[in-house]
Structure 1
Amino acid sequence: MNTHTNAAVEFLQMCARGDVAEAFAKHVAPDFRHHNAWFPDDQEALKQGMEQSARDEPNKSFDVKQTLESGDRVMVFSNVQRAQGETNIAVVHILRFHHDQIVEMWDVGQVIPKDSPNQSGMF
């Protein structure tokens, strides 16, 4: 994996397991912004939301399926399994880097239907 890809994956894995403050301190630039529609666009709001998610569901899993790096962007395609094991979500994170720090992030997710007729699956 490339350097930015490694950093993106490590950041997301740290956040998923609850090491949110450390992940932000290690990988996120001070002028970071994000595009998650559920939170104000500042770093602190997203960090608090991720910390709350980790407290609410400490046993969720985050399984990286694919990565793609192009220029200053890294795409991470993952399977997130909710702690209760009832719901799997296909998630795409796109992270933009500047000087080896994450300065911007987008994320989109889709619940994986249990009865999908698509035999190829989401991954």
Structure 2
Amino acid sequence: MSQKQKKQIAQEFLTLCAKGDSRKAFDQYASKNFIHHNAYFKGDAETLMVAMEENAQQMPHKIFEIKRVLEDGELVAVHSHFRQDSKDLGAAVMHIFRFEGEKILELWDFSQPVPKDMPNENGMF
């Protein structure tokens, strides 16, 4: 599998989940042995998939913008901007995927809120 294909899969997985199509994302792209490291949910695929579905229902106007995608062997990192709606400053989010073959085997995610008064003139994106 090429770098480009892994990057595309990671982006498509996140885009589907953000739109509320988590089941499709997991069915198409997640390994049967998928695990994740989000501290707020059990570490299995089903729990995270349901949480992503519920999030999409609770925030139907959310905006998810992928800013950059990096690949290093079996790992793909996606840096994105997540906002609840157009008025929300949102958060910078990093998802790190570990692939096994053509499937996502493992996922880490981290976020940092975008502050209203940011002293860094370079911004977060």
Q: Same fold (TM over 0.5)?
A: yes
The CA RMSD measured in Å over matched residues stands at 1.1
Q: Is the 8 A contact 2:70 2:77 kept in 1?
A: yes
Give the Cα–Cα distance (whole angstroms) in 2 for the partners of residues 87 and 53 of structure 1. 18
Quick one: percent identity of the two aligned structures?
41
Residue 78 of structure 2 corresponds to which residue in structure 1? 76
Residues 21-46 of structure 1 show CA distances to partners (whole Å, capped at 9, x for unaligned) of 10111100110000000000011110
Residue 101 of structure 1 corresponds to which residue in structure 2? 103
SS at match of 1:59: coil
Query: 77-86 or 40-49: which moved more?
Result: 77-86
Residue 112 of structure 2 corresponds to which residue in structure 1? 110
Report the CA distance between 1:85 and its aligned residue. Answer: 2.9
TM-score (norm 2): 0.95
Structure 2 gap ranges (5+): none
Give the Cα–Cα distance (whole angstroms) in 2 for the partners of residues 86 and 4 of structure 1. 30
Report the CA distance between 1:106 and its aligned residue. Answer: 0.1
Letter in 2 for 1:86: D
Give the Cα–Cα distance (whole angstroms) in 1 for the partners of residues 98 and 42 of structure 2. 18
Equivalent residues in 2 for 1:1-123, closer than 5 Å: 2-83=4-85, 85-123=87-125
Give the Cα–Cα distance (whole angstroms) in 2 for the partners of residues 85 and 22 of structure 1. 29
TM-score (norm 1): 0.96
SS at match of 1:2: helix
